[in-house]
Amino acid sequence: MARAGVTAERLTRAAAELADEIGFENVTVSALARGFGVKDASLYSHIRNVRELRTRVAALALTELADQVADALAGRAGKDALVAFANAYRDYAKGHPGRYAATRYELDGESADPVAARRHAELTRALLRGYALSEPDQTDAVRLLHSTFHGYVSLERAGGFRHTSRGADVSWARALDALDAVLRNWPSARA
C-alpha cells in the first residue's frame, strides 16, 4: 500500500536534493527511504528501481538547467547570449552539484522522455544562430561549447584551478572571449 503523501514526484525531488548533499552516485532507494523514514519496499509502489529513480532525477535536472539557460538567453544574441548561457550553466553546476552530475546520466529511450535533453541542444542551436553557423558546423559547435563548459566546471569543482593565484572567474571570462572569437571566425570545412 502506498504511503500517504509519497508520490513519484516527491521522491524525485527528494532524490535530487539528496544528490546535491551526498552525490548523485550515492543516491539509492535505501538512502531515499531512510530520508522518508520508511522501508525500501514502500517506495517500490512509486518507482521500479534505482535506475528509474536516477533517470527521474536526471530528467528533473535537465529540465531545471534548460529552464535556467532559457531564462538567461531571453532577448540576447551573439556574445551576450554566449556569456548568459555559459554563466547559467556554470551557476547551475555550482549550485546543484549532484543534480548537475545527473545531467550526465545516460538516458535511454525506454526509461526517459528525451525532451529535456533535446531542449539543451535546441537552446545551444538558438545561441549559435547569432553566429550564422549552418550544419554540420553547428553540430560541431554545440559539441565544442558543451565540452568546454563541462570540462571547465568539472575541473573547477574538483579544485583543479587552486594551484595558481589567477582567479577561476577571470579565466572563465577569457575562455568565453576565446569561444566567441572562434564562433565568429569558424574555420571553413576541410575538403
Average pLDDT for 71-90: 96
pLDDT at position 22 is: 95
pLDDT for position 1: 35
pLDDT level of residue 91 (50, 70, 90 thresholds): very high
Mean pLDDT of 104-115: 69
Output 164 or 38, whichever has higher pLDDT. Answer: 164
- Other beta carbons within 10 angstroms of residue 20's beta carbon come to 18
Between 91 and 188, name the one with better pLDDT.
Answer: 91
Which whole number is the average pLDDT over 115-141?
Answer: 88
**Cα(137)–Cα(144) distance, integer angstroms:** 10
Share of the chain above pLDDT 90, in %: 64
Mean per-residue pLDDT of the chain: 89
- pLDDT interval class at 113 (50, 70, 90): low
pLDDT at residue 4, rounded to an integer: 52
